[in-house]
Amino acid sequence: MSPIEEIKSKLKKYPNVKFEEKENYICVIPDSENGFDVWFREDEREYTIGFSSWHEHFDKNELKDALNCFVWGLSDACRLKVYLRRGKEYKWQVQSLEDGVWVTFSTTSLFNFSFWRRKTVKYKTNALIEA
């Protein structure tokens, strides 16, 4: 079974979860504006897991880790800290709930030409799966 077929099979347990699928790609769409997309992409060299614009690359021999990361993004033990300037997202930090404290795990960012503008921060979580 392909990784995407495996993900779709597991998502059948959650009939209210919406997702879109393309060749070598699947994306779970959040059920609220406080959630974020969780996506999986496969190419000949690697797997990429993404939460909105944050992403992590996994070698082909790390499929289990990639799938665990995907599921973690759907859980209440994961959240995305999103930085904005002038309403435009430019930095995404994935945080993990550890002993009741949110700890930053990884960051992805873009250069923002409005760096002098006031920064705002939003927190997003899916909580589709209980950790």
| pLDDT digit string, tens, across residues 6-42 | 999 999 988 888 999 999 999 999 888 899 999 999 9
Confidence of residue 104 (pLDDT cuts 50, 70, 90): very high
pLDDT at 94: 97
69 lies in the same domain as 112: no
Confidence of residue 87 (pLDDT cuts 50, 70, 90): confident
Tell me the mean pLDDT in the region 95-117: 86
In this structure, is residue 129 part of a structural domain? no
pLDDT at 118: 84
13 lies in the same domain as 67: yes
In this structure, is residue 16 part of a structural domain? yes
Rg (CA), the chain: 15
Q: Is the pLDDT of residue 131 over 70?
A: no
- The closest alpha carbon to 83, from 118, 31, 51, 48, belongs to 118
Query: What is the number of domains present in the chain?
Result: 2
61 lies in the same domain as 97: no
pLDDT at 33: 83
15 lies in the same domain as 69: yes
44 lies in the same domain as 59: yes
Collect all residues with Cβ–Cβ distance below 8 Å to 78 and sequence separation of at least 6.
51, 72, 94, 95, 96, 97, 125, 126, 131
Question: Does the model's pTM come out above 0.85?
Answer: yes
pLDDT in tens, 45-85: 999 999 999 999 999 999 999 999 999 999 999 999 999 98
Confidence of residue 112 (pLDDT cuts 50, 70, 90): low
Q: Which domain holds residue 92?
A: 78-124
Cβ contact 82:52 at 8 Å: yes
